Structure formats: structure tokens, C-alpha cells
Amino acid sequence: MALIHLERLWVENRLTAEGRVLHKKTDGAKSETRDGVRITRSLPVHSFKLGLFGVCDVVNFTPPAFEPQPATSLPKRIEHELNRLTRPIGVVTETSQLGQVKRDEDNSPFHQWTITPVEYKRGQPKKNDADRVQLCAQAMCLEEMLRTSIPRGELFYGKQQRRTEVVLSDELRQLTVRAAERLQLLMFAGVTPKATREPKCENCSLLPVCMPSPSQSVNASVYLRNLIEE
């Protein structure tokens, strides 16, 4: 993260290239309404609370009391709101004096809608929480922008070719808040932390420029076991 965002370094390898191709498929496709569900692609999102911004691969907007039906035009208010969201950030959400976003779910045009962010990944599910945290951060951004609640999202893995539902639990939300806080500290400090070599480094495109030092705390047998399990 620090190498990319602080030092502006990037190195491509087969894995990053495959990921880019997968994302191009969703980025290149247009938003559409299918069977009454609005499928929005490459939706810019942000959160003042988390201090984050980014782009959601796909967000599905399912109307209340949904029954599949032929594609029809969306209610005007929803259409307007979705158009507003796809404009560049900086004009989107109302904030209070403290920068805290007003949360008034009853007044949200998306009240009672089911909103589901879907994040596309090249490989297969990871052992760590990185993908779930990323998805949760997207959902929390959407909740803040739309003044609504999003209880679950979905992860699509290229190797499995199917979506996996992720429950956005309190625990995952706390993990996401802590990750966002750590990121803020990192960006404010402006210093790339010392990296320690781990099994995941073997597939990392940044390995040649990162040059992590050997782990001091992991002995050789544990390191080899991690390597095999990875």
C-alpha cells in the first residue's frame, strides 16, 4: 500500500495483469436495469467518516418487495439519485459541521431497497480478511452516501466463477474502521514501514522493489509450512 500510494511505485506481473483484465470487463460494461434490478458498474464512492474514496466494481440496487419483471424505467427519484452518485466526488453528500454525515434512513430514497456491492477478484478466496475488509469499506461508503443500511455484499472470484455472500458483521466493520485508521496514520506519517518477508510476498509483483527483510519471528519450519499452505 505504502509503496503504491506514498512512493508511487508499481510493477506488473502475470497476476496483476490478470486482475486488470478481469476489472476491465466490469469497468468497460455499462450500467443497466435487468429484471427490475439496477446494476451499476464502476460506481465512485467515498466516506468522510473513514477518510476513504474508491470505485465499486458493481453495485446492485433491488427495489423493495422485489418481484422479477421485464426491464422498465426506474422511478424518477431513484434515477436522479443514481445519476448524482456517478458524478465526480465532492458534491455528493451533505455533512454536518463536524464532518459527520447525517444518517436519516427514513428520508433516504433508498429506504428499504436492497443494495449489494459486488467486488471482483482474479484468484480464489484468501486466508486473510483483506477482500472482506475492502468490500465492507465499499458498503460503509455507500451507507454514508445513501443514508441506508447494507447488511451484506458479495465477492466474485475468477477461479471459482461464482459469487460468495459476505455478511457485514459488527466485527468486520470494526476491522474495517481499524484498517482505515491505520491507513490514515500511514498517509499522514508519509513513511513507508519496514516490510518483513512473508509467504504472500512470493506472488507479489512489488517484491523486486520492496525487498522485505527476512522474518525474525518466524522460524524456518513455520515459514516452510506457511509456504506450503499458501
Q: Which residues bind ligand SF4 (CB under 6 A)?
A: 3, 195, 200-201, 204, 206-207, 210, 212
What minimum distance in Å lies between the beta carbon of 188 and ligand SF4? Answer: 20
Can you tell me the distance from the alpha carbon of 157 to that of 22, in angstroms, rounded to the nearest whole number? 10
Closest by CA to 151, choosing from 163, 169, 137, is 169
Task: Report residue 155 as a C-alpha cell.
Answer: 465477492
Q: Which is nearer to ligand SF4, 76 or 194 (CB)?
A: 194
Q: Which is nearer to ligand SF4, 211 or 224 (CB)?
A: 211
What minimum distance in Å lies between the beta carbon of 199 and ligand SF4? Answer: 9
Residue 119's H or E segment, with its range, is strand 114-121
Can you tell me the distance from the alpha carbon of 54 to that of 141, in angstroms, rounded to the nearest whole number? 9
Q: Which is nearer to ligand SF4, 164 or 192 (CB)?
A: 192
Say which DSSP state 86 is in.
Answer: T
What minimum distance in Å lies between the beta carbon of 5 and ligand SF4? Answer: 12
Q: Which is nearer to ligand SF4, 103 or 182 (CB)?
A: 182
The alpha-carbon radius of gyration of the chain (Å, integer) is: 20
